[in-house]
Amino acid sequence: MKTITIRLPEYLIEELPEEESSIYEILKLGLKQLKIEKAIERYKKGGVSLAKVAELAGISIREMIPTAYAHGLEPKYDKSLVESKISPDRAINL
């Protein structure tokens, strides 16, 4: 494991738990959330699918869909596909 040193404002230091494992968990959760936020921003700009941004964020599409809704987004979809039958080969490429 690598050691890093960071400077934090006093108010954050006061909020941090003393246990190293808790600090590790805070960093892990924060990094995950940051990846999700960046992925959502990329989706808002367009040109990338929700499945791709889920992959970039390191979460499943099932987790990304409600996350997108929570950010006020509605996943884009092709209305013609809603009522049609889709072959497995075509589904892979969606």
* Within-domain flag for 29: yes
The three-state secondary structure class of 60 is coil
Question: Residue 59 belongs to what domain range?
Answer: 10-92
Q: How far is CA 3 from CA 14, 18, 31, 90, in A?
A: 21, 17, 17, 47
Answer with the residue of higher pLDDT: 17 or 90. 17
Note the pTM of the prediction, 2 decimals: 0.69
Cα 17 to the center of its chain, rounded Å: 25
> What digits encode the pLDDT tens for the residues 27-62?
999 999 999 999 999 999 988 888 899 999 999 988
* Within-domain flag for 88: yes
35, 42 in Cβ contact below 8 A? no
* Domain count along the chain: 1
Count CB neighbours of 40 within 10 A: 19
Answer with the residue of higher pLDDT: 80 or 24. 24
* Within-domain flag for 5: no
* Within-domain flag for 61: yes
Percentage of the residues of the chain whose pLDDT score is greater than 70: 81
